[in-house]
Amino acid sequence: NQLNHFTAPVDGIDLHFIHEMGSGPAPMPLIISHGWPGTVVEFLDFIEPLAHPERFGGDVADAFEVIAPSLPGFGFSGKPPHPLGPRKMAEHFNSLMTDVLGFENYLAQGGDWGGAISSWLGFDHAPACQAIHINIMTMRPPGDPIGAAEQAWAARFEREQIMENGYRTQQATKPQTLSYAMMDSPVGMAAWIIEKFNSWSDTVGDDLESVHSKDAMLTNIMVYLITQSFNTASWIYTGRREEGERILSPEGKRVEVPTACALFPAELLSWPPRSYVERVYNVTQWTEMPRGGHFAAMEEPGLLLEDIRAFARTLR
């Protein structure tokens, strides 16, 4: 409740978003997007340092005006009548930033689905979206990996995904079947969600609480429970399949706005070599982090925060 929450009708959906006005005379507009099985809970302790760096020993010149929406179908946002993929969600978020909030330019940041949405913001909605910062590589170029390093990554990636792809296939093909079970069982939903946080985080000795508190996990789960949004949140996987999966551009176009990549070593989707990434993005900042996993804003907020600030300084 210490943050300011709003809803606004955007293209037929009531979008929920947190809006924190930044300190100083010129805070940069920044939209930060969560993923699945996260919610805006991922950012509750992250927003204030972004918006008010001087309260934490930082420079007020690094302040952001932070907008953190709940994805359509997630949490306190309205439920779409049919599945939406990340490209369509990017349309909603650009409308929120430009039409509703009136920004001429903004920076987009995200991990998980937020990384895909940020990518589409940079691809479809430049120059309003002037740059993106991502901590996951979800998009792909057309064609096969090139050279030994890319081919080795691709083979390793396929091996890694054998144990991680089951939920994704289910939610991309038959999400409603799963949803009836999850929405009728708080314990089942908690197990489904917490397993992802445990598997995808940079834990110590496979101890989830070495990274995430029980309170944080329960708060995130409760958002799904009280809003009854597990079903419509899982639709985003179906939406991406209907949009064309991971390929950004069959013609080989790329995101041309400046792109910062933050590589956390325990990321669910291991990063390809930079040569591969640069076929999708105009990479202007590349940071290999010493630790951290998929939920960077919760696991290593200091590392992520400083990387976003460093990138933004090149844009101000």
Residues assigned a catalytic role: 112, 237, 294
Least Cα distance to 278 among 263, 296, 290, 261 occurs for: 261
How far is Cα 89 from Cα 71, in angstroms, rounded to an integer?
7
